[in-house]
Every structure is written in C-alpha cells, then in structure tokens.
Amino acid sequence: MLKSKTFVKKTRSGGVMKIVREHYLRDDIWCGSEICTVCKQESTVLQKDSCIESDLCSSPHYLVPDTNVVLHQIDVLEDPLIRNVIILQIVLQEVRHRSAPVYKRLKDIIHEKEKHFYTFTNEHHRDTFIEREPGESANDRNDRAIRVAVKWYSHHLDTAESDGLKVVLITNDQGNKEKAEESGLLVYKCEDYIKSLLANPELVDRLALTNDETKDISSSKVLFPEHLPLSRIQMGIKSGTFLQGTFRASRDNYLEATVFVQGEGEDTTEVILQGLHNLNRAIHQDVVAVQLLPREEWVAPSSVVLLDEREAKDEDDTEEEEKEKAMKIIADDAARKPTGKVVAIIKRNWRPFCGMLNSSLIKESTRHLFTPADRRVPRIRIETRQAAALLSQRIMVAIDGWPRHSRYPHGHFVRSLGAAGDKETETEVLLLEHDVPHQDFSQAVLSFLPKMPWSITPEDMAVREDLRALTVCSVDPPGCTDIDDALHCKPLENGNFEVGVHIADVSHFIRPGNALDLEAANRGTTVYLCGRRIDMVPELLSSNLCSLRSNVERLAFSSIWEMDDKANIVKTRFTKSVINSKASLTYAEAQLRIDDANMNDDITNSLRGLNKLAKILKRRRIEKGALTLSSLEVRFHIDSETNDPIDLQTKELMETNSMVEEFMLLANISVAQKIYDEFSECALLRKHPAPPPSNYDILNKAAQSKGLDIHTDSAKALADSLDMAKVDGFPYFNTLLRILATRCMMQAVYFCSGMDSDFHHYGLASPIYTHFTSPIRRYSDIMVHRLLAVSIGADCTYPDLTDKHKQSALCNNLNYRHKMSQYAQRASVAFHTQLFFKSRGILNEEGFILFVRKNAIIVLIPKFGLEGTVFFDNKDKTGPKLVFDEAGPSLMVEQHTFKIFDLVKVTISLDDSNVQHQKIRMSLVEPEIPGVSVPVPEVGPMAKKPKLDV
C-alpha cells in the first residue's frame, strides 16, 4: 500500500519548498514474539515466558515505553531486570533526533540478545500507521501512534492464544496515560511500575526525577535568575547583546568560571563569571549565553582557593556572600577583564559523573549529597535507600535538573563502580571521567579481523616491494609489544646512504567504513596508563599481525631516502613493502651496540649510520629554530605480584631516543608534503600554533629574576635564548627554564588542509607536518596512510577520504581523544604516585620553586618528577605574615622572600584524609622560618595506626 507524506521546508535562500515523499505500508512486518502463531517470522526476540514479578501486573507482559521514558529513564532500561521491551519505530526516531548519546545507548541495548528488546516498525505497518489529523500537533500525533501500536499488539497477541500475556504502556505523561486508559489499554507511570517490581527494589534509585519531583525537594526561596527562552537568546546573539561560548568552571574556586567565546578565525574572548547568581546553574563544558556586565563591574581573576565543603543548604546564606565579597575586594587593584553573567544554557553537557556519596546528617534520610571526582562539577543531590552500603564506594550519578529554588542540581544514582581506593576501581573512574572508550571490542568489530593462522599471500607479494633481505631493526621502550616502526641504513656504491623508515601497514587490515574502522576512528588513540594499555585496535593487530616484531615477515609502508654523508636528501620514495626485522631492541640495548667498539655486525653498523645522520639532522633542525624543550617523565617499577609501584624514577633519554625521533620526524615531514601535493584540499595535517606573547610572561619573569633576557619574537629567537641561558653554579637552571617554556606552549592539533591556511609547526620549525609513523596507536596515521597509498597508486580512494568537511569533523574528534588521553595518563601517574608514597611515610627531599602564588609556592622535586604545593596559610590557626609581589613574582613569608627557581627542602607525604581527593602534601623544612618550617622527619615507613576500641 502506497501513501504520500507532504511537508514544507525552508531553503537556505529563505524560500519555501514543498516536498512530497512516498510512504509504503506493508502487511509482512512481524510482531517479534515467540508466542505468536500468526506472523510468519523466521526468528523471534520477545520471549514466551516474559515474567517480571510486579505488584501492579501479575501476568506475563511486554513493555512499551514512550519517547520521554526512553530519554529520561535509559539508566533503568539498561538494568538486566528489564527485558522483553518493544521499542516502536516512532520512539526510536524521536530519540535519535533529540539525544544522540541516549540513542546510542538504546541501540546497544537492542543489540544485547539477553535483553530481548525488539524494534517494531509501526510507521510502515498497515494497521499501526496513522495520519496526522488537522490541528493535531506532531507530539500529540506521535503519542496517538504509540497508543495505536500498543492496542494492535494487545489485540494481535490475544488472537495468538497468548495465555494471558499482556502489553503494558509505560509513560510519565498524565494526558497520554488518561487517553490510553480510555482506549482500554494497560498503562502505568514509569515510577509506579518500577516501584512495583519485587526482584530489585534498588532499581528505584536509578529513576530520573521529573520536573514535578525536583520542585518537591527544593526550598521555596528563589536562588537563581530564570534562564531566558531560546528565541530571545538567538536574537540577542545575532544583535551582539549576548555572547555564546563554552563554560569552564574553575578547579580551585567553585564561585568562579570562565566562558570562552569563539571569535573570527582563531580569536577567542574570555569572559569571567564570579558568584553563584552569575554562574546561574551552568555546569563545566555547557554551551551558554552570557551577557557582559557594565565595565565598572568588571573584575580580575581571583587567586583565592575556595572549595565547596560546607553543609548542604538551599538558603542563600551570608557565608557565601562573604566569600563573594572577599573575591571582589582582592580584584579591585588588579587588571580587570570582561565580566558577565549566564543568561541561558544553550546546550547541556550533562553526563554520568563519578564520585562519592556524602551521607546526610539526618538519620533515616534518603536524600544525600554526592561529591563528583571532578572539582569543577558542583555537588549533586540524590535520593537513595542504599546510602549505608554506598558510603565507601565510588559511584556514578546522572543529573536530572537544576531548579531555580535549589542550591544544587538534582540527580539519580546510576551504578556502583567499586570500593574507593581500589586500583581497579580508581582506574575505571579515571577512564570514565576522561571519556576514554575502554569496553571490550564487540563481536561486530572482531568479525573484521583476519582469520588465523594468517600469512602473507602471493597476491600481497605481487603488489609490494620485497625488502626482507634488508637489515631492518626496531628500537623501542622496554616491554613494548605494539611496534609501529623499524629502520635501516646501508651504504650505497656511490658513497651515499640508503635510509628507510618502515611503518606497520595497519590500513591493509582496517578497511574504510567497516565496524573495525569505525571503532578505531571513535577511539582515536591508544591510551597508555601505568601498568595498563587501552588499545585503539584489537590485540591481534596491535601486538601481533601489525607489530613489526623481529624474525617474522610483516607488511609495511616504507619511506626510503637516498642521503649523502651530510644528511642531504638526494631522492625520496614511498612504497608498500614486506620486511623481516632482524632485531627488536630497547633504547638501552641499541645504545650499548653503538658504544661497544667490539661489535661490528650488520645491525650495529646500521645503527651507527643512523645515529651519525640523526645528529646532523637534529643540528640542522635546531639551527632553523626547532625548540628543545623539557618535561620530567616518570617510570614506575611495578611489583609483579601486587601490581603496586615499588620504585619511581625519572626517565633518562639516550642518543638512541633522539636517533629514532629524528627519522620519525623526517618521515612525517616527507609524507606531509607528498599528501598535500596530491590532496591540497583534504590532506590530514598537524600544526602547532605560536603562543600569544602573554603566555611567555612567567618565563620572562623567571629569567629576569636571574638577570637574563629571553627573546620570544620567534621560535628561533626563543631557542637561541634558551641555549644561552646559563647561571654559574646552577647547572639545573637551564632544564628548569625549558620546563617552564614547555608550559607556555599551545596544544598541537590535527586539521584538514582545505579548512585552514596556517600549516606551520612552531615547535619543530617546520612549514608542514603530519603523523605517519604510529598507525597502531593513532587513527590519524591510518588516514595519512590511506592518503599516501592513493597518491602513489597503491590503493583506491573513497568519498569520505576526499570530503574536507568530514575530514575536519574527524580531526575534531582526534584532537579531543588525544587531549583526554593525555589527561587520563597524567591522572594515572598521579594515582600511582600516591600509591608509591602511601607506604613511604614522610620523605625529606630537595626541590626547586616553579611558581609563586599569593599564599603558596609550587615546588618541583626532580628526583621523582613530582610537583606539589607548600601552603603558608592555615584556616585553623593564624598564619604567618605574607607579602606577595606580582611583578617578581615573589612571596615574603615573615622575613624570608621566595622567588622562582629558589632551592628549598621539603617533606613529602600522602594526605589521605579525603578518600576521594587524596593528594601529595609538602611542608617546608629549609629555609627555616619560625612557626612555618617543620622539623626534619625520621626517614622510614610510616607506622601502622593503632586500632581504636569501639
């Protein structure tokens, strides 16, 4: 049966277009129930014995949730107890349009066979499709379509001798419920139905609160201004009255935030927000509309540390007003910046948050405050009957709303993650908080892996260059199993050298558009935590078939140069190849070979040739202005049985580290130029923007404190200044200066060549750059391999590869995943550092001051690559006299003045008084300041605390 759908659509030019679409109705869309004898279905999803024990419905039954139930109660639907659910096509379509994250979660549930969720295509079934009536809203039409489908199911299963099986409509819409009851349908409110379930009473905690319920648990006093409607916001943004930007809460001050407003090109404006009223219920990473305050009300960023640790109150109490006044007083004499207030939330960034429960002081209360692990997110009020069991657990909570009458947003319990402090639990928390995809690879993804045993076929050899005879070897960190790259160097008869960088040919195994490719594109990067690796691709590829291990044949993508003895490139070529690595070496092993005069085998001679050329390449790069920066990286030695860190050391770099780096850089630059020459509009490149001059303020002040000048007009000027920055009797000064310079840099980003005009890589002083050399762990490199393969005729193109808009969207995801991966790695190092110091008691170490604040100094301990803060004020007692000079910057504590790079001696210990936010605490030992310094501790493990008699 054929029907037509007619609707009008507004065109870009402002006109109106009438669109008519054919709509087919069918008789062969089956119900999906195994109890049915009418439908001629080959397989079924809905079970015959659908028994969920309920006080409301004692008969076996199927559930049909409406759109709002799916959107707001997805946490409930994911519970294993909820099975045999019919998801109507109209519901699925509405969810897809209104919430992409919920739609993905719903699709995942539908694909879980044990959940028995069935999608019924009601919009194309002859008996369930309905026309929209004159004057009927789209929402009312969809509600009616859901009721019609439920009625059809009830009648259809009755005729199939279903032994009393019922079909239950679940809704929270009172109007929809009343109309369903008038039609004789079995219908319940979601909350009533969940409360009736006997098998899992805790499921009630996972119910999201409705708007009516959030009003019930708020005070009557209005605490926040009302958000403006979207229509006014759109007009205001267009006229310039309002600004749109991303809300970024302060980690150290819960009464302050910044909104980053994107201007033309790469220009951004920062708008400061101070005070609860001006923050107006925005949450970190929300997209908001802000209105600038009059210029006389502008303030400067506050340097006060304020954590929201008070008791839960909804009153606008005087304590908070005093804190806001203190911030403004401090800002009076400082440089003012644009200041504003949030007038509307354009796009919420609500997600499930990890954290811990704060038990209510009221006995038997079910309402409690939840403190998120991320200090930038406000505390959340939830209702739970499991508070006693959850107090020592890490849990997940989702936000349901934030009424104007409530000091805190309202939410609901999602699930428990495990005991706080447990390694597995804390790792799960940091992965979830940094949005790192870490679930097991699905069967759909694994189905695209090559069948084992795998070997290189004659067809592969026919289209590749056979380089198996070359003396190729890899050089990597110890324990590396995902070996992306290998190298070779051999002398030629004409006196030149042939140098090759051979990269794992991952794109041979991952073909565009399949489930494996889509999963790798979503993950974006492999994430390396302490003692754990979250792969971008399945282990069969990452540690086996793609890994360039020694003495096995592997597929590679090779970049081969002919160079003279001055490292000048005579010729460059790229080829798909087959290699057989002769050795998998660590950096230390390769260095020993180079340094050992008694070793003269082919591998060692190849390494010496590479090392000699690499030194020339590095010198030439530095002469062009490439920066040599510094950051202290640490390596943990892990106990093989307990997996606890037993030693902590900073990583030492050798010549071989630099050798490998130079040839990876050369390969990346060579490939970048090649793919840009071939694909000027869609090459995937990487750039490093030059920092704005203000970024160098702290570097300049640090150098001037030692009587030195740093020139930052260009990368070359900065590199030369850093090379000449030396202080007699202070050999570590230059390293400290380079560490500070690293903090001044911008983030390097991926971009599509057709969407940008500035390609320059500031740090490398290269006009063009990309990533080619690590396709096992970076998806960007897989895309670059595909572009390069097409450019040399080794593979065919496909539409998405040459679509610059899709390339640009992909780059945005890769930049996000790369940034979150870095944050997750730092969080893992911080957690393992805490574990290391947990059993060390109080240690006494020397360090250097990196930053000076108004009430503290931030100290770097080179031995451990560790930074910590020494505070000089104490909220429990009167602190010492502090005088801060921002121009220095310097801080006078009593009679002693602290400046950047001063040598100090501190105690290091773990402060675990707050289970969720454990931190390394430092206290000053030297210089000795009466009333401030602490005595030198006795070195040794901390004694076990005596058990208390209860």
Mean pLDDT lowest among 102-111, 211-220, 448-457, 486-495:
211-220
- 3 state SS of 235: helix
Where is mean pLDDT largest: 148-152, 374-378, 888-892?
A: 148-152
822-848 confidence digits (pLDDT tens): 999 989 988 888 888 887 888 899 999
Cβ–Cβ under 8 Å, residues 86 and 168: no
Instruction: Tell me: pLDDT of 214 over 70.
Output: no
pLDDT of residue 580: 97
This prediction has a pTM of 0.85
pLDDT digits (tens, 9 = 90+) for 599-641: 999 999 999 999 999 999 999 999 998 988 777 776 777 776 6
pLDDT of residue 950: 26
Q: Is 44 helix (H, G, I), strand (E, B) or coil?
A: coil
pLDDT digits (tens, 9 = 90+) for 248-265: 998 878 889 999 998 765
Edge-to-edge strands, sheet with 243-249: 268-274, 256-262, 243-249, 287-292, 340-347
370 DSSP assignment: E
Q: What is the pLDDT of residue 946?
A: 32
> Of 868, 619, 902, which is closest to residue 736 (Cα–Cα)?
902
From start to end of 239-286, where are the E strands?
A: 243-249, 256-262, 268-274
Type of residue found at 775: P
Report which secondary-structure segment, H or E, holds 740.
helix 733-744
Distance CA 779, CA 310 (A): 45
- Rounded Cα distance between 513 and 382, Å, is 42
Under a CB-based contact definition with an 8 Å cutoff, are residues 879 and 886 in contact?
Answer: no
User: What are the pLDDT digits (tens) for 265-305?
Assistant: 556 788 999 989 999 999 999 999 999 999 888 888 776 56
Under a CB-based contact definition with an 8 Å cutoff, are residues 555 and 548 in contact? no
Task: Show the DSSP H helices in 28-172 as ranges.
Answer: 67-72, 74-77, 89-98, 100-111, 138-159
The token pair at 310 is 């008070």
| Cα distances (angstroms) measured from residue 278 to each of 229, 344, 711, 834 | 17, 11, 40, 37
Partner residues linked to 249 by β-bridges: 257
The chain-wide mean pLDDT, for the chain, equals: 88
739-793: pLDDT as tens digits: 899 989 999 999 999 999 899 999 999 999 999 999 999 999 999 999 999 999 9
> CA-to-CA distance for 805 and 262, rounded, in angstroms?
19
pLDDT tens digits, residue range 662-681?
999 999 999 999 999 999 99
Q: Where are the alpha helices (DSSP H) in 342-462?
A: 387-390, 423-433, 443-446, 458-462
* Section 443-456 average pLDDT: 94
pLDDT tens profile 227-248: 999 889 999 999 989 999 999 9
Cis peptide before 301 (omega within 30 of 0): no
Average the pLDDT over each of 157-166, 181-190, 904-913 and give the range with the smallest value: 157-166
Sorting pLDDT into bands at 50, 70 and 90, what band is 945? Answer: very low
- My answer on whether omega of the bond before 693 falls inside 30° of 0, hence cis, is no
* Number of Cβ within a 10 Å radius of residue 622: 16
What percentage of residues in the chain have a pLDDT greater than 90? 57
Burial class (CB in 10 A: 0-12, 13-18, 19+), 107: middle
pLDDT at 869 over 80: yes
* pLDDT for residue 222: 84
Cβ atoms of 226 and 404 within 8 Å: the answer is yes
Please count the other Cβ atoms lying within 10 Å of the Cβ belonging to residue 413.
25
Averaged pLDDT for residues 506-516 = 96
Question: In 10 A of CB 253, how many CB atoms?
Answer: 20
Cα–Cα distance list, 279 to 9, 252, 256 (Å): 38, 15, 8
CB 675 within 8 A of CB 770: yes
β 856-861/866-871 pair status: antiparallel
The two tokens of residue 322 are: 């005093």
